[in-house]
Amino acid sequence: MFGYVITQQEELKLREFNVYNGYYCGLCKTVGAEYGQLLRLGLQFEMAFLALFLESLDDAPEEISEEHCVAHHIKKKPVIRCSAQEYAAAMTVILGYENNLDDIQDDGTSAKTLSRSLVLHSAFSKAKDKFPEAASRIHEQLELLYQLEREHCRSIDDPTNAFGEVMRTIFLSYFQDQHHAADRTPANPANPANPADSVSPAGADSAESDSAPDPASGSDESISVRDSATNSAKLNAAEIQYTKPDAAIRVVSEFAYQLGRWIYLIDALDDLAEDRKTGSYNPLLSVPEDRVLRLAHDLLYHALGEMARALDLLEVKKNRGIIENIVYLGLRTKTDQILAKGQDPELEIKNEESVNGKQ
């Protein structure tokens, strides 16, 4: 599902290019040092972006070193190490472990999944020990998503929103006050600390209601799963103490949620032709072929627009240029590339209007 959150490399300044590579290489080295060299093969752009994004909300200066690695043993590469790298490395392992569990449940044990299990088992235990609250919530939310997929939920919103909640948890858990993690108490009802309930640039509920109508609503079971996911997310969020002000948490919450929605949708669209051939689950298969591209376009650009609005409200202490390059250029380029598979000539004008509208 990952591999879509990329830079528009030719638009980056030289220093920005080196800083971004520093985060990517730093994450790669951190994963290898903390969890084993083989797990570096599972590195994803999304987790490098996670580290960059989270660290950029802190004004501490970055320390860039030049180091060799196995892949670049002749010329040294820039490397940045920070606390956000350690967190992103743990999320890399946790997501890899959960994905492997899902593969086993769907397809049974194979040589591939068994070898992954052997590599991931001890690494996952270590990552879970470091971030037990995040690991537990991610597992619960992914189980709800996988249940929807196994039931072949016909609603587009339900699985898309479910993965949005997964990304919300991944981003917000970094700011959880670890001092309160072991003994959480509910927030004061008069002053709720629930980012899912608070007013944001465009909240999760408005994103669902404003999106293009789902041509096939889910079954009662699907709706109950969706409601369960929403209630669980709200309950967990209300009990968590964060190290950032509520206003910042609300904006990061909305940004991460919309990013998760975009990732799930772009992956579904990218796999649509293959899934149509194989019969694999894809929520876009419930849409008539002559409407699917237009619907996907509207949903994807809605998510991009909400991310842009959230980013405009966020106090980014450093590397704003890199983050904006990814959100405004990299994600749009990837969106247009995958939409172009449908070759709808009307999309170009609307895309331009959508991006200009972010200002």
Q: Is 249 exposed, middle or buried (0-12, 13-18, 19+ CB in 10 A)?
A: buried
Q: Is 10 exposed, middle or buried (0-12, 13-18, 19+ CB in 10 A)?
A: exposed
DSSP string, 211-235: SPPPSSPPPHHHHHHHHHHHHHHHH
For the chain, give the longest Cα–Cα distance: 60
Q: Is 345 exposed, middle or buried (0-12, 13-18, 19+ CB in 10 A)?
A: exposed
- DSSP3 helix / strand / coil % (the chain, rounded to 5): 70, 5, 30
Do residues 337 and 297 lie in contact, with contact meaning Cβ atoms separated by under 8 Å?
Answer: no
The tens place of each residue's pLDDT in the chain, 359 residues long, gives 789 999 999 999 999 999 999 999 999 999 999 999 889 988 899 999 999 999 999 988 888 899 988 777 788 898 999 999 999 999 999 999 998 887 777 667 777 777 788 888 899 999 999 999 999 999 999 999 999 999 999 999 999 999 999 999 999 999 985 433 444 333 333 333 444 444 344 333 433 334 444 443 443 433 344 454 444 444 444 556 888 889 999 999 999 999 999 999 999 999 999 999 999 999 999 999 999 999 999 999 999 999 999 999 999 999 999 999 999 999 999 999 999 975 543 444 344 444 433 33
Residues 113, 102: Cα–Cα separation, whole Å: 10
- At 172, list the tokens: 């917000």
pLDDT of residue 137: 95
- At 115, list the tokens: 């070898």
**Burial readout 164-199 (b: 16 or more C-beta within 10 A, e: otherwise):** bbbbbbbbbbbbbeeeeeeeeeeeeeeebbbbbbbe
Residues 29, 31: Cα–Cα separation, whole Å: 5
The pTM is what?
Answer: 0.80
Residues 180, 243: Cα–Cα separation, whole Å: 10
Residues 48, 236: Cα–Cα separation, whole Å: 26
> CA distances (Å), 143 to each of 30, 109, 117, 130, 140, in order?
28, 18, 18, 21, 5
Residues 67, 20: Cα–Cα separation, whole Å: 15
DSSP string, 239-269: T--BSS-HHHHHHHHHHHHHHHHHHHHHHHH
> CA distances (Å), 49 to each of 10, 188, 243, in order?
18, 34, 21
pLDDT of residue 349: 37
Residues 18, 158: Cα–Cα separation, whole Å: 39
Question: Could you read off the pLDDT of 253-290 as tens digits, one per residue?
Answer: 999 999 999 999 999 999 999 999 999 999 999 999 99
Residue of 303, 308, 287, 298 lying closest to 346 (CA atoms): 298
pLDDT of residue 73: 75
pLDDT of residue 342: 59
Q: Which helix (H) or strand (E) holds 54?
A: helix 45-55
- At 93, list the tokens: 């392992």
Cα-Cα-Cα-Cα dihedral of 77, 81, 85, 86, to 10°?
Answer: 130
Pairing relation of β-strands 77-80 and 64-67? antiparallel
Do residues 193 and 240 lie in contact, with contact meaning Cβ atoms separated by under 8 Å?
Answer: yes
CA quadruple 323, 324, 327, 332: dihedral positive or negative?
negative
Tokens 């202490």 locate to 317
Name every residue whose Cβ is closer than 8 Å to that of residue 99 and which is 6 or more positions away in sequence: none
> CA 228, 232, 233: angle at the middle one, nearest 5?
120
